[in-house]
Structures are given as structure tokens and as C-alpha cells.
């Protein structure tokens, strides 16, 4: 059976694997270029994402788009953006381990299909999920942010770079400098890998 990103998106929209489906307006499968060089993975949709059914469209999404376009120098539609959990947790709480477990197979399949040169994990939940698949346990995002991990996952070499979630910079503007620094690293990594 063909397993394209559109097929996965339709499965996500119909998903009832965990209780989060009871609270959602829209599931948020992800969007962007299915042949993207760069893939961004957040933790879960927020209010505006739930309303629109699209990832990163609220204030954090506006900052992410600004970073993609102004620091990476590429249009947002050229990358792929998704989350580990595809439905909004009530009151924007952190996703629970059972919710991540129920939903993560969609992300795994998206990564296998898209085969990005680098996956940028936004925040501790997406970072913890992907690094744990390689047996790496983290205590927090600050210990690993800005580092590139080259790991054999999903039957291929996968480069993962954790950074802070853009929402963190909305609460603490000083963190935007660190995120911009990480985005410059992403740009350098991608430019070197394309040579």
C-alpha cells in the first residue's frame, strides 16, 4: 500500500488512538515540502493550530516562520513542519507519555518518507522522543540544544539538532538569541551537506 504524507495526514485526521481526539477541533498532521531537506518537529498543537488544522500558526509559529525565512533564508513551504503529538492537549498542557506513544508512529512514518537531511526538534518533548529512540536520555533541552546528533534511525542515518521551542523566546526574549544561533548552525550544516 502507498504510504505517502497525504495518506498519513488522512489517518491522523481520523485518529482515535488516545483521548485527545475527544477535545480537538482539528488534528494537525503537518505541512510543507514532502521532499524537504529540513524537518521541524514540535511537541503538540496549540489553540490556533487546533482551530486551523495547521502546525505553528500562532505566535510561536510566527517566530518560527521568521527564523526559517530570515535566518535560514528559505521560504516556509520549502521545509516540513509537524509535531510529535498531532492533537491539542487540553489547556495547552504538556503531552503525556501515553499520548506520545499513541501518536509517535505517525511522526516515525513521516520521517521515513520525507528523509530530511536534518530534523530540528523544537523543545524537550520532541527532542526526548527522538533521542530516546537511539537510547539517549536527556534531563533537559539546554544540555543538548545546538548539538547535531548523527544517529541510525528509521533504517538510515538521521541528523537531529535540538533547539528551544520558539514559545520559550516569547516568554523570555533573551532566548531568541540562542535559537537564532542554532538556526545559523542548521544553515551551515545544510549548506555543507549540499556541497
By the 8 A CB rule, do 90 and 50 touch?
no
49-64 pLDDT, tens digit per residue, is: 999 999 999 999 999 9
80-122 pLDDT, tens digit per residue, is: 999 999 999 999 899 999 999 999 999 999 999 999 999 999 9
Per-residue pLDDT at 59: 96
Per-residue pLDDT at 116: 97
DSSP class per residue in 138-182: -S-GGGTTTPPEEEEETTEEEEEEEE--HHHHHH-TTHHHHHHHH
121-156 pLDDT, tens digit per residue, is: 999 999 999 999 999 999 999 999 999 999 999 888
Rounding to the nearest 10 degrees, give the CA dihedral for residues 104, 98, 149, 5. Answer: 10
The count of C-alpha atoms lying within 13 angstroms of the C-alpha of 89, restricted to the half-sphere facing its C-beta, is: 15
On the question of pLDDT at 33 being above 60, the answer is: yes
Mean pLDDT, range 41-47, rounded to an integer: 97
Rounded Cα gap, residues 139 and 150, in angstroms: 19
Per-residue pLDDT at 95: 95
On the question of pLDDT at 3 being above 70, the answer is: no
What percent of the chain shows pLDDT beyond 90?
95
Per-residue pLDDT at 195: 60
Per-residue pLDDT at 8: 97
| Report field, pTM of the whole predicted structure over 0.85 | yes
Rounded Cα gap, residues 57 and 153, in angstroms: 29
Mean pLDDT, range 174-183, rounded to an integer: 97
By the 8 A CB rule, do 56 and 123 touch?
no
Per-residue pLDDT at 1: 41
Fold of 5-193: Uracil-DNA Glycosylase, subunit E (3.40.470)
By the 8 A CB rule, do 86 and 106 touch?
yes
On the question of pLDDT at 159 being above 90, the answer is: yes
| Mean pLDDT rounded to a whole number for the chain | 95
Per-residue pLDDT at 155: 87
Q: Which is it for strands 80-83 and 31-32: parallel, antiparallel or unpaired?
A: antiparallel
Amino acid at each position: 500500500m502507498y504510504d505517502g504524507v497525504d495518506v498519513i495526514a488522512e489517518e491522523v485526521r481520523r485518529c482515535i488512538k488516545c483521548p485527545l481526539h475527544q477535545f480537538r477541533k482539528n488534528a494537525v498532521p503537518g505541512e510543507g515540502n514532502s521532499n524537504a531537506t529540513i524537518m521541524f518537529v514540535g511537541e503538540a498543537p496549540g489553540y490556533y493550530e487546533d482551530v486551523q488544522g495547521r502546525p505553528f500558526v500562532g505566535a510561536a509559529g510566527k517566530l518560527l516562520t521568521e527564523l526559517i525565512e530570515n535566518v535560514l533564508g528559505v521560504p516556509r513551504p520549502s521545509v516540513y513542519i509537524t509535531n510529535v503529538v498531532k492533537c491539542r492537549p487540553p489547556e495547552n498542557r504538556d503531552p503525556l507519555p501515553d499520548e506520545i506513544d499513541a501518536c509517535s508512529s505517525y511522526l516515525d512514518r513521516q520521517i521515513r518518507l520525507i528523509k530530511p537531511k536534518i530534523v530540528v526538534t523544537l523543545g524537550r518533548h520532541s527532542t526526548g522522543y527522538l533521542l530516546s529512540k537511539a537510547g539517549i536520555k536527556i534531563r533537559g533541552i539546554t544540555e543538548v540544544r545546538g548539538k547535531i546528533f548523527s544517529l541510525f534511525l528509521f533504517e538510515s542515518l538521521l541528523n537531529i539538532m535540538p533547539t528551544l521551542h520558539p514559545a520559550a523566546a516569547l516568554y523570555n526574549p533573551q532566548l531568541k538569541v540562542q535559537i537564532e544561533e542554532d538556526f545559523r548552525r542548521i544553515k551551515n550544516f545544510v549548506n555543507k551537506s549540499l556541497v
